[in-house]
C-alpha cells in the first residue's frame, strides 16, 4: 500500500461517518455508511459478524472509504481512500469497541444495552481493520 495523503487521513479522522464500499463476487461495489475510528493510520469499523459486508470482505479484501453523512450521501469533494480490509480477532474487537466508545457516546450506550439484553450473544460483532 502507498502512504495515505495526510490531508485525507485527517478528513477521515474528523468525519462522523464514512461510506464503506466492499465488492460482490461480480465486482459490483456496495457502499454502506458506518461509524469508524482512525488509530495509528488505520481505519477501524465494527458491524454484525453475519453482515453482508463481512461476507464480501472475507472473499475480497479491497475496500474504499469516503467521507459521507449519516445517510451515506457523499459530497463532490469528499475525501476518499482505497485500501485492504481484514477481520480482527476477539482482542481486536475489544480494542475497536473501546476506540469507538471514545468517539461516539451512543456506541458506549449501545454496548451496555446489548450486553444487558443479551443481544451481543445473539448477534456477535466483527471488527474490521482497513489499511491504506
Task: Give domain status of residue 37, yes or no.
Answer: yes
Could you give the dihedral angle defined by the CA atoms of residues 77, 7, 92 and 56, in that order, rounded to the nearest 10 degrees?
Answer: 30
Residue 72 belongs to a domain with what CATH number?
2.30.110.10
Task: Give domain status of residue 58, yes or no.
Answer: yes
Rounded to whole angstroms, the Cα distance separating 108 from 89 reads 20
Is the pTM for the entire model greater than 0.95?
A: no
Instruction: Give 54: exposed, middle or buried? Use CB within 10 Å, 0-12, 13-18, 19+.
Output: middle
Task: Give domain status of residue 1, yes or no.
Answer: no
pLDDT tens over the chain, length 132 residues = 567 999 999 999 999 999 999 999 999 999 999 999 999 999 999 999 999 999 999 999 999 999 999 999 999 999 999 999 999 999 999 999 999 988 987 554 455 445 555 555 555 889 999 999
Task: Give domain status of residue 75, yes or no.
Answer: yes
Beta-carbon contacts of 54 under 8 Å, excluding residues fewer than 6 positions away, are 47, 48, 87, 126, 128
DSSP one-letter code for 29: E
Task: Give domain status of residue 126, yes or no.
Answer: yes
- CB-CB contact of 80 with 21 (8 Å): no
- Boundaries of domain holding 72: 6-131
**What is the count of structural domains for the chain?**
1
Amino acid at each position: 500500500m502507498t502512504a495515505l495523503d495526510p490531508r485525507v487521513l485527517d478528513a477521515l479522522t474528523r468525519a462522523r461517518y464514512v461510506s464503506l464500499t466492499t465488492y460482490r463476487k461480480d465486482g459490483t461495489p456496495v457502499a454502506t455508511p458506518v461509524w469508524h475510528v482512525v488509530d495509528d493510520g488505520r481505519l477501524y469499523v465494527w458491524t454484525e459478524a453475519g453482515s453482508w459486508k463481512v461476507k464480501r470482505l472475507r472473499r475480497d479484501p479491497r475496500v474504499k472509504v469516503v467521507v459521507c453523512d449519516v445517510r451515506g450521501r457523499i459530497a463532490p469533494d469528499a475525501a476518499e481512500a482505497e485500501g485492504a480490509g481484514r477481520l480482527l480477532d476477539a482482542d481486536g474487537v475489544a480494542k475497536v469497541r473501546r476506540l469507538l466508545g471514545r468517539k461516539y457516546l451512543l456506541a458506549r450506550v449501545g454496548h451496555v444495552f446489548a450486553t444487558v439484553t443479551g443481544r451481543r450473544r445473539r448477534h456477535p460483532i466483527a471488527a474490521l481493520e482497513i489499511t491504506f
